[in-house]
Amino acid sequence: MTFPNFRRAHPNVAIVGATGAVGVELIQCLEARDFPVSRLKLLASPRSAGKRLPFRGGWLTVDALDDSSFDEIDLAFFSAGSGTSKTYAPRAVAAGAVVVDNSSAFRADPDCPLVVPEVNPETLAGHRGIVSVPNCTAIIASVPMAPLARAFGLERVQMSTYQAASGAGAAAMEELRASTEAFLAGRAFQPTVLPHPYAFNLFSHNAEVDVDNGYNGEELKVIAECRRLLGEPDLRIGVTCVRVPVLRAHSIALTLEFAQPVSPDAVREVLARAPGVRVVDDRAGNHFPMPCEAQGQGDVLAGRIRHDLSDPSGRSISMFLAGDQLLKGAALNAVQIAERLFSGGTGARSPAAALAVAS
């Protein structure tokens, strides 16, 4: 089954997982970007049914997800975990909806496009009803990497990530708040969402570690998905993923080795023209990308652009990135995919220009 477009000019839209951190951001993105919604249906687990969430000056009631939830739905955003997506996304497609899925359920499926609109929008043409939103870290890294790879040829990537609580969901964000309050008050706090103390601490990403190669699941996902997004299945990538006590917005220390010698000025010039990237690179003022400035807006901030002094060939550039995990790393990327599907256009407007969501 193929879906050249939606069935009506203003589609009926459903959000599965509407009460979660990404679900709430999806609602706000649809409103902020004036997506042409005819009817918005909010869906979640039975325990969340009956909650009311704001949209376009009114309030919408959350319904419990069931087999009839996708009747007359044209577009369904999924943000409720891979198990829910695996069960209900095919049912939504069978009912006639196009699914944009934020979970990991279909990311490794070669028949399901894995899409960042600024990076590989052409892959949308072959979708079969489901489009997958990549891992949030892979999105934030690939938006600046893709134009640089096209300009200079990319041979090797080394990155270390500094991942916020938002990547583990609303419960982890609340645990960071509560544990920080307890730490400052001198009270003991027992973590229940994450495996280690979070306040004033950092630790290796909490995904399961492969005991043979030493990489955790998050790192392996980032490697696989960056290769796929960039169309380079053999690209050499090394990743270390770390959870840091930041509420939202991931950061990445990134070193790229190119096929030719490259100057920092040439890199800045490419990134200054790249959609979805904002250069923040004030050496004199020591002002570079920070999570507090990345959150609540849609661009990936890129700065600290400099030669890697350990590479005398001049082919390696180091930089620092920050991007809002809940927006560009999840909800905004999903809505941008839907805009491409709906209009068939270029989606050329800047995310930051089109989006002003309070953090």
Average confidence (pLDDT) over 174-186: 97
Indicate if 250 belongs to the active site: yes
Q: Specify the pLDDT at position 4.
A: 43
How many Å apart are CA 326 and CA 338, to the nearest integer?
Answer: 17
Identify the active-site residue in 136, 205, 226, 241. Answer: 136
Three-state secondary structure call for residue 139: helix
Measured CA to CA in angstroms, residue 267 lies from 84, 130, 135, 317 at distances of 41, 35, 25, 8
Percent of the chain residues past pLDDT 70, beyond the cut: 93
CB distance 30 to 12 below 8 Å? no
Quick one: CATH architecture of 138-325? 2-Layer Sandwich (3.30)
Average model confidence (pLDDT) for the chain?
Answer: 93
Q: Specify the pLDDT at position 343.
A: 76
CA dihedral (331, 333, 338, 343) positive or negative: positive
Give the number of other CB atoms < 10 A from CB of residue 247: 19
What number does CATH give the domain 12-133+328-353?
3.40.50.720
Q: Which structure tokens are listed for 115?
A: 């899409």
Average confidence (pLDDT) over 170-175: 94
Residue in 157, 109, 143, 147 with CA at minimum distance from that of residue 129 = 109
Q: Over the stretch 62-97, which tens digit does the pLDDT of each residue have?
A: 999 999 999 999 999 999 999 999 999 999 999 999
**Extents of the domains making up the chain:** 12-133+328-353, 138-325
Q: Specify the pLDDT at position 155.
A: 98
Q: What is the value of pTM for the model shown?
A: 0.92
